[in-house]
Structure 1
Amino acid sequence: MYRGSQLKIKLLGVAVAIALALGGGLLFQDRAVGEEAGDEAPMSRFEYLSENGNSNCSREFMDSIAHMPATALIQGSCCSPMDAHRYVEQVNGLRKYKDISAIPSDPYDIPAGLAQKLMPYYAVELNEAEQAAYDYAMANSDERGPCCCQCWRWQVYGGLAKKLIREEGFTGEQIAELWDLSDGCGGGEDHSHT
Structure 2
Amino acid sequence: MNKRSFSSSKKALVLMLVIAAIIAGYFYFALSKPLFNFSPRESQKVTKGLVNEALAARFDYLSKNGNSSCSGAFRDSIASMPDNARLQGSCCSPMSMHRYNEQVEGLKKYQNIAKIPPDPYDIEAGLAKKLLAYYDEPLTPDEQKAYDYAMQNSSEKGPCCCKCWRWYVYGGLGKYLIKNYKFTGEQITDVWNLSDGCGGDSEHHHAS
TM-score tier by shorter-chain length is: 0.7 to 0.9
For structure 1, the residue ranges without an aligned partner over 5 or more in a row are 1-34
Paired residue for 1:108? 121
Q: C-alpha separation between the residues in 1 aligned to 2:174 and 2:167?
A: 10
Aligned CA distance change for structure 1 residues 36 and 115 (closer, same or farther; 3 Å)? farther
TM-score, length of structure 1 as denominator length: 0.80
1:182 aligns to 2:182 (yes or no): no
Unaligned runs of 5+ in 2: 1-47
2:51 alignment partner, SS class: coil
Deviating above 3 A after TM superposition, structure 1's stretches of 4 or more consecutive aligned residues are none
Name the amino acid aligned to 2:174. Answer: A
Alpha-carbon distance between aligned partners in 1 of 2:55 and 2:143, rounded to the nearest angstrom: 34
Q: Deviations over 1:72-114 (max 9, x none)?
A: 0000001110001000000000011111000000000000000
Distance in 2, matches of 1:39 and 1:139, equals 34
- Which amino acid in 2 is paired with 1:159? G
* Alpha-carbon separation, structure 2, partners of 1:154 and 1:97: 20
Q: Is the 8 A contact 1:42 1:91 kept in 2?
A: no
- CA change 1:95–1:36 in 2 (3 A) is farther
TM-score (norm 2): 0.75
d(CA) in 2 for partners of 1:77, 1:59: 16
> Who wins on radius of gyration, i.e. which is larger?
2
Shift of 1:120: 1.1
Q: 1:134 aligns with which of 147, 161, 165?
A: 147
Calculate the aligned-residue CA RMSD, in Å.
1.3
Aligned equivalents of 2:142, 2:180: Cα separation in 1: 13
Report the Cα distance in structure 2 between the residues aligned to 1:175 and 1:48, rounded to whole angstroms. Answer: 28
Match of 1:172 in 2: 185
Q: 1-side partners of 2:96 and 2:204: how far apart?
A: 10
**Which residue identity lines up with residue 184 of structure 1 in the other structure?**
G
Superposed, which structure 2 residues align to 1:5-154 within 5 Å? 38-154=51-167
Moved more, 89-98 or 37-46: 37-46
What amino acid maps onto 2:64 in structure 1? E
Equivalent residue letter for 2:132: M
CA distance in 2, matches of 1:158, 1:86: 22
Q: Distance in 2 between matches of 1:173 and 1:38?
A: 30
**What SS does structure 2 have at the residue aligned with 1:74?**
strand
1:43 offset after TM fit, Å? Answer: 1.1
Cα separation, 1, equivalents of 2:122 and 2:86: 6
Q: 1:37 to 1:115 in 2, by over 3 A?
A: farther
Q: Residue 59 of structure 1: CA displacement?
A: 0.4
